[in-house]
Amino acid sequence: MSHSTDTPALRTRPEWRALERHRDAAAGQSLRGLFAADPGRGERMTLEAAGWYLDYSKQRVTGETLGLLRALAAAAGVPERTAAMFRGDRINVTEGRAVLHTALRAPRRAKLEVDGRDVIRDVHEVLDRMANFAERVRSGEWTGHTGRRIRHIVNIGIGGSDLGPVMAFEALKFYSQRELSFSFVSNVDGTHLLEALNGRDPAETLFVISSKTFTTLETLANAHAARDWCLGALVQPAAIARHFVAVSTNTEAVQKFGIDPANMFGFWDWVGGRYSMDSAIGLSTMLAIGPDRFHEMLAGFHAMDSHFRTAPPERNLPQLMALLAIWNGNFLGAPTVAVLPYAQYLTRFPAYLQQLTMESNGKHVTLEGARVDYATGPVYWGEPGTNGQHSFYQLIHQGTHLIPCDFIGICRPLNPLGVQHDLLMANLFAQSEALAFGKTPAEVAAEGATAALVPHRSFEGNRPSNTLLADELSPHTLGALVALYEHSVFVQGVIWNIDSFDQWGVELGKALATRTAAELASVEAPALTHDSSSNALIRRYRARRGAS
């Protein structure tokens, strides 16, 4: 563990105190005022890396704020911890694991040894096997048990074994092989699987069972049901070998399920579930877009990795995004962040980011186990624009919570349709402008509003936002975007001195669900020993669920 128990508590650091004083001194400062005082701000407060341009001029910061934030990052050990991560040190201290998702996208020629193993060689061996398999399925050479071509691919997984794959599939659908259909089944609600299989022919369906541990209840329940569905039609157990492949780190469990290890694609304990979409967990992505495009995506990840690793703090995009998040959350008190992609293909990006950010930084103790006395990971949420505008933007504009926004836009549409892309982007630009500058009561009154309506129609403005723009949505820019947020999450975790790579918070619910499932399954009414609310809910459900 790189931090000893004498690590100064974050809020007592002089750098933190300096930021508090700076915040207090700047109280009353507005984005209107900042832009009026510095008309070049919109061009200057921008940064570009790996195909992404960030305009952060609509954040409530000055050059001084950023300098103070960078001092905090340096004092918290961001450069040292970054080097440790890339080197393969066991920075996930509570699980005693290295954190090496950056090795998943390192080029073949790179070198990295961990515990005497060349991990880059391992990574590329698996990538090559995935590519071979994906080409065979895409070309029709790999057939089902009856010799029919595979037409439907169903990824069964949950959390990181679902959100990354489904997000990437949606994001890169433009590049996908359209004769293949894809479904992503995660929920243990039988509806999810049955709706995905409705109308499908088992002889033409391939299941990719994605689970790092291969013990996850939801995934195994769905995988067993899928196997029953398949064998119900194809009958012979030998059919499983043609219709099921696995992505996992657990060979034994995969074998026990009945999948031939020859049809298993592995990864390693140093890949966290929410950091795994570029590992073998991306098999469905590769099946959809093909190995070449998949490698373009990896190159995008790697471009952002290299930038993050080498760019100086003043020009380091992931570090900057992290510091802006710390400023908004810890110093301006914003408890949430809205992620607003103005790109229909990024429809699942907010959901993907929720796991990446909140499972990583939703922690309440430091690396040393002490209760933190500052806010850690904010709540991430969002929807593609323009849909959100007609739903929750009202609260962002005029509600009582400060909600910083990340707008994401693409300059060149993949699907040009009349003037629609201009309309889409006009809305993005309009929203960040309206949030930043608002509309004063005087402006509202000058438009002829009655005195009674002026307060209702005024906008305070001063709502901060980032705008991220890429020239196009490609596998490369998608990879770079994901890596940007991954590293931003990492830097925030370093500053908060928490373990961004464990997820103990999911364990209690899992244990209680296992116990409760047994109580629901028992024929005799069991003696319940939960709290009175849970007991009553279980009893009511048992009485009313009907025949199981």
CA 288 to chain centre: 20
Q: Which of 34, 245 has the CB closer to ligand F6P?
A: 245
Choosing from 390, 456, 507, 524, the catalytic residue is 390
Three-class DSSP labels, 45-111: CEEEECCEEEECCCCCCCHHHHHHHHHHHHHCCHHHHHHHHHHCCCCECCCCECCCHHHHHCCCCCC
Given the complex with ligand F6P, which of 217 and 411 has the nearer CB atom? 217
* DSSP assigned state of 473: -
Q: Which residues contact 89 (CB under 8 A, 6 or more apart)?
A: 2, 98
Of 109, 91, 201, the C-alpha closest to 101 is 91
Q: Does 348 bind ligand F6P (CB under 6 A)?
A: no
Largest CA distance in the chain: 78
Pick the binder of ligand F6P from 51, 88, 160, 300 (CB under 6 A). 160
317-326 helix and 63-75 helix, angle to the nearest 10 degrees = 100
Amino acid, res. 186: S
Does position 376 interact with ligand F6P (CB under 6 A)? The reply is: no
Residue 412 burial class via C-beta count within 10 angstroms: exposed 0-12, middle 13-18, buried 19 and up: exposed
- Based on the number of CB atoms within 10 Å of its own CB, is 457 exposed (0-12), middle (13-18) or buried (19 or more)? middle
Out of 161, 222, 366, 467, the only residue in the binding site for ligand F6P (CB under 6 A) is 161
Give φ, ψ of 377 to 5 degrees. -50, 125
Among candidate residues 405, 403, 366, the one with its CA nearest the CA of residue 493: 366
**Contact pattern from residue 478 through residue 517 relative to ligand F6P, giving x for each residue in contact according to CB under 6 A and a dash for the rest:** -------------------------x--x-----------
Of 227, 222, 190, whose CA–CA distance to 205 is shortest?
227
Between 93 and 311, CB nearer to ligand F6P: 93
Residue with smaller CB distance to ligand F6P, 110 or 253: 253
**Nearest alpha-carbon partner for 500 in 314, 331, 336, 355:** 355
Q: Note whether 534 binds ligand F6P by CB under 6 A.
A: no
Taking the least distance from each CB to ligand F6P, the nearer of 219 and 319 is 219
Q: 395 with 310: CB under 8 angstroms? A: no
427 near ligand F6P, judged by CB under 6 A: no
Which residue out of 170, 218, 359, 486 is catalytically annotated?
A: 359
Task: State which of residues 213, 255, 440, 516 lies at the interface with ligand F6P (CB under 6 A).
Answer: 213
Between 102 and 161, whose beta carbon lies closer to ligand F6P?
Answer: 161
Q: Does 150 bind ligand F6P (CB under 6 A)?
A: no
Binding of residue 363 to ligand F6P (CB under 6 A):
no
Binding status of residue 284 toward ligand F6P by CB under 6 A: no
Binding-site member from 159, 266, 378, 385 for ligand F6P (CB under 6 A)? 159
- Within 8 A by CB and 6+ apart from 209, the residues are 156, 157, 219, 223, 226, 244, 245, 246, 247, 248, 254, 257, 259
Q: Which of 158, 185, 197, 481 binds ligand F6P (CB under 6 A)?
A: 158
Q: Is residue 211 near ligand F6P by the rule CB under 6 A?
A: yes
Annotated active-site residue 510? The verdict is: yes
Exactly one of 273, 329, 377, 385 binds ligand F6P (CB under 6 A); that residue is 273
Binding region for ligand F6P (CB under 6 A) out of 18-26, 211-219, 233-241, 320-328? 211-219
Clarify whether 173 is annotated catalytic: no
User: 466 φ, ψ to 5°?
Assistant: -105, 150
Q: Which of 57, 219, 316, 477 binds ligand F6P (CB under 6 A)?
A: 219
Among 145, 212, 421, 463, binds ligand F6P (CB under 6 A): 212
Q: Which residues are catalytic?
A: 359, 390, 510
The footprint of ligand F6P (CB under 6 A) covers 158-161, 211-213, 216, 219, 273-274, 359, 503, 506
